[in-house]
Chain A
Amino acid sequence: MEFAINKADLVRELNLSQGVVEKKTTIPILSNVLIEADGDRIVLTATDLELGVRCSAPAIVKKGGSGTIPAKKLLDYVRLLPDGEINIKFADNQWATITCGRSKTRIAGMSRESFPELPHLPEVLAEIPVKTLAMMISKTIFAISAEESRFTLNGALLIVRADGMVMVATDSHRLALVEQKVQLGNLKAPYRALLPRKAMNEILKLAADAEPDAKLMFSGDDNHLFFTLGQRLLISRKLTGNFPEFERVLPKEHAHAVSMDRDELKGALERVMQFADERSRAIKLTAAANEFRLHSSLSETGESEETLTVSYDGPPVQIGFNAQYIVDFLRATAETEVVFHFKDGGAAGEMRPGGDAAYTYRYIIMPMRI
């Protein structure tokens, strides 16, 4: 195999594979990127067996074929080359020679036979606006559990229906739900799948490069999810297991609500949080006549209190929360106004963005006993 390719094209596509290639050494072939040259393009494939990325770039193919090279080494080296054309040639002994101007390098590759096979792309189920999906991911991904033992919570539930999408993530202390109405056309039945966190991060990367109205071709088979954006394809194995019945957790109604300025609340929380226990991040929220008080105290270090002026005429209510959870929500919210719904000290609270958003965003936080 031999081809010539523009440096910028190669670096851009190799960058995408970096999040996927295995950094560990146990199975060396997984640290490699598979390069296939055919026609006027090269196709790059990387996988860690759970997630796979396939992308392609225009190239002048002098001799078709395929081979694998360590992905990180290749990218690190190519990045350092001057802009321009790079020539890559694979010898029969799996060594690749990279020539660019007066630089010449040989990298030891591995035979493509040992490179894992990726599943075949099934029929496209829906065309999803990529920016919408990315928005939904960034509003839920932080609520995914970091606990290794709770695998079904190590991803987000994605429901794709003909009239919209729902994404839900939870770590059982909090739950983030985003629902977006969007006409997805020819979808026959709703599609439910657990999307691993790593795949969500890669979709965010794909979306970052995409045009504002680009569409993601979404499809799935029994065990995999496929996302195609132009020449790029992301394949993720589904997480299995039963996602909690989140509908039952969603509060039906709340007795009270206060509306607050997002930045004001965020600033106050971040300051008060300094005096909260480092592990639990517990603070007390008190709603009283037209004011909303945040309070934290650490017996040894000190205490901190802030008061926001709000419009509230209900009875005084005091609830304990993990302040970090609220800050996470505020960081993911674009609206300048947020509404806090609550009932009493023993019930879950809920944050929502204020105003009339085109989507539903609900964030449920379990209370803490302080």
Chain B
Amino acid sequence: MIENVFGNRAVVETLETMVRDKRMSQTLLLSGPEGVGKATLARRFAAALLPNTESIDKDDLGSEDNRELLVDREKWTSEKRSDDPLFFSTHSDFVTFPPDGPLRQLSIQQMRLLKQKAQFGPLKGPWRVFLIDHIDRANEQAANSLLKTLEEPPPYLILILTAENAYDLLPTIRSRAVQLTLGALSDAEMKQFVKARGLDRSEQRIALASGCPGLAVSLDLDVYEKRRTAMLALLRVASGQGGMEGWAKFSESIGASKSEKLEGYLKVLYMLLEDLLVLHEGGSKIRNIDLERELRALSNVISFEWIRKAVGKTDELVDLARRSIQKGIALDAFAVGMRRAG
């Protein structure tokens, strides 16, 4: 009934039972890691519920048109964005509200628009489905303004919320929704998925995505490898292997690049730290399989305490990145700070 979904059978079956028995929970919260398929599942669920949904996947945030639109909107002034709140609705009874702006947040204007749209009945059939993608990106005001709609949606409206971690949300939001947790896909499921999509360098993609099909599809491996080389150099220097000159050229080019964001690098940094931790504690299932030798060598010279500190510092950088700090300097400070700590 809900077609073309990979993995997470239990969740899919729960939703299918709802559709079959016509006993809907009108507010659903899908949580799980980035790229595991929360929004995709929401669209497939809507496709099972609504008529004529052939083009519903055009609302995928990862699609090229939509990505371009988001990048374009980043250049707008915040007033212009508030005047023209972002939503996608290729199917008139399926509306997606994605995070917007350079900080990728859900705005109060978007939530107001949602409430306004919620007052109109479906075009065809008994249902309308609204997807609030990354509800964890809504600030407290925006989230609070939704409470009444979440609690008492109009009889035809199904609201699907997605969040990486349900416990990042206000308890008032969580308690109003039926929670469904999506987990990482097994290797076999990932292989099936990669094959169905016909992706290149499949083995590397599967390892890097670590059970998240969305990640496997969207990963630009060349960009990823470029960032990884830089971040590996950063970790080497930060762990005291070689002098700062090994990092300087990367720092310069990252600082000079206007189009790249710090977040992209920090995500890679987290992945490397995760692998280092796995290797340091004697595990073997790492993401960056092609770098195993280098990572193993590095893991032998660092301590658990060092990794813990590095993760803490990366968390700090993620917070600061939202206040648009200087990329190069921030990473330099990371290296210097960790060398001292080391």
User: Contact residues of A with B, CB < 8 Å?
Assistant: 24-27, 49-50, 113-114, 116-117, 119, 148-149, 151-152, 154, 222-224, 237-241
Contacts and interface: CB of A to CB of B under 8 A. Distances in A.
A281 B69 CA distance: 44
Interface in B89-122: 89-90, 92, 112, 115-117, 119-122
A239 B120 contact: yes
Given A26-B86, A114-B90, A151 B123 contact: no
B242 interface: no
Contacts of A27: 87-90
Nearest to B119: A151
B119 A240 contact: yes
Nearest to A223: B121
B123 A223 contact: yes
A241 B153 CA distance: 10
A88 to B, nearest CB: 26
A154 B120 CA distance: 12
Nearest to A236: B120
Nearest to B58: A114
Contact of B116 (A151, A222, A223): A151
Given A27-B89, A241-B154, A148 B123 contact: no
Contact of B124 (A24, A119, A149, A238): A119
Given A154-B116, A223-B123, A224-B121, 18 more contacts: A26-B69, A26-B84, A26-B85, A26-B86, A27-B87, A27-B89, A49-B92, A50-B120, A148-B112, A149-B112, A152-B119, A222-B121, A223-B121, A223-B122, A237-B123, A239-B119, A240-B121, A241-B154
Nearest to B145: A149
Contacts of B115: 148-149, 151
Contacts of B55: 113-114
Contact of B120 (A26, A119, A152, A240): A240
A285 B135 CA distance: 51
B119 A49 contact: no
A93 B86 CA distance: 28
B84 A25 contact: yes
A285 B24 CA distance: 55
Contacts of B69: 26
A98 B186 CA distance: 57
B259 interface: no
B73 to A, nearest CB: 9
B89 A49 contact: yes
Nearest to B100: A26
A154 B117 CA distance: 12
Contacts of B4: none
Interface in B68-92: 69, 83-90, 92
Contacts of A149: 112, 115
Contacts of B123: 49, 116-117, 119, 223-224, 237
Contacts of A238: 120-121
Contacts of B257: none
A151 B114 CA distance: 12
Contacts of B141: none
Interface of B: 52, 55, 58, 69, 83-90, 92, 112, 115-117, 119-124, 154, 156
B121 A237 contact: yes
Nearest to A47: B92
Q: Which 4 A-B pairs have the closest CB atoms?
A: A223-B121, A237-B120, A24-B84, A151-B119
B152 to A, nearest CB: 10
Q: Pick the most buried of B55, B117, B121: most chain A CB atoms within 10 A of its CB.
A: B121
A145 to B, nearest CB: 13
Contacts of B87: 26-27
A295 B328 CA distance: 68
Nearest to A118: B123
Contacts of B120: 50, 223, 237-240
A232 to B, nearest CB: 20
A116 B92 contact: yes
A24 B87 CA distance: 11
A27 B120 CA distance: 18
A149 B119 CA distance: 11
Contacts of A113: 55
27 contacts: A26-B69, A26-B87, A26-B88, A27-B87, A27-B88, A27-B90, A50-B120, A114-B55, A114-B90, A116-B92, A117-B92, A117-B124, A119-B123, A119-B124, A148-B116, A154-B116, A223-B122, A223-B123, A223-B156, A224-B121, A224-B123, A237-B123, A238-B120, A238-B121, A239-B120, A240-B156, A241-B154
B88 A241 contact: no
A238 B121 CA distance: 7
Contacts of B85: 26
A314 B58 CA distance: 70
B69 to A, nearest CB: 8
B305 to A, nearest CB: 49
A117 B119 CA distance: 19
A49 B85 CA distance: 15
A50 B117 CA distance: 8
Nearest to B65: A28
Contacts of A237: 120-121, 123
A24 B109 CA distance: 14
Contacts of B92: 49, 116-117
Contacts of A154: 116, 119
A111 to B, nearest CB: 11
A151 B69 CA distance: 30
Nearest to B124: A119
A117 B52 contact: yes
Nearest to B84: A24
Contacts of B156: 223, 240
A263 to B, nearest CB: 39
B151 to A, nearest CB: 15
Contacts of B124: 117, 119
Contacts of A239: 119-120
A222 B155 CA distance: 13
B85 to A, nearest CB: 8
A182 to B, nearest CB: 28
B84 to A, nearest CB: 4
A26 B58 CA distance: 13
Contacts of A117: 52, 92, 123-124
A25 B65 CA distance: 13
A21 to B, nearest CB: 14
Contacts of B121: 222-224, 237-238, 240
